Amino acid sequence: MVDNPAVELIAELGDAPTEVGRARRALSHLLERWGVGGDAADVAVLLTSELVTNAIRHGAGPVTLRAGMAKRGAVRIEVDDDRPGQVVPMEWDLWAVDGRGLQLVDMLADRWGCRSNVDGKRVWFEVRLEHAEEQAV
């Protein structure tokens, strides 16, 4: 991880929809081991589900999930796939049945972005632990 030297989880995922649940479970276990719970854990697991779902549905090749603690007291999640390009939240459509994943990331993450690389792209987000605690009060 470029911005996160404390990587604790690297999971290679397949392209089946069931891999989303596997990613959620792996991240939940890691967050529990770190003692991260409450809103921060819920947001991190939800947003991970969205990014992994997008990578499986719209990406190419294997999907890689990375999780770690960023230096600034945040959980950082990165999802890689082999399709190059950028991701952009879709315009809000009240009647759409999908397409809200990146809107959720944009609303709930403290920071997020996308970076193309030689092998595809990496979409990442951070949820600050103290920010989640402040919102819960």
Query: In this structure, what CATH number is given to the domain that contains residue 111?
Result: 3.30.565.10
Range of the domain at 116: 6-136
Tell me whether residue 77 is in a domain. Answer: yes
**Cα separation, 63 vs 57, whole angstroms:** 11
pLDDT of 38 reads 92
pLDDT of 90 reads 65
Query: To the nearest whole percent, how much of the chain has pLDDT over 70?
Result: 82
Total count of domains within the chain = 1
| 3-7, 36-40, 123-127: the lowest-pLDDT one | 3-7
pLDDT-derived band at 1 (thresholds 50, 70, 90) equals very low
Tell me whether residue 1 is in a domain. Answer: no
Tell me whether residue 26 is in a domain. Answer: yes
If you ran DSSP here, which 8-state letter would residue 66 be given? E
Q: Does 7 score more than 80 pLDDT?
A: no
pTM, to two decimals? 0.84
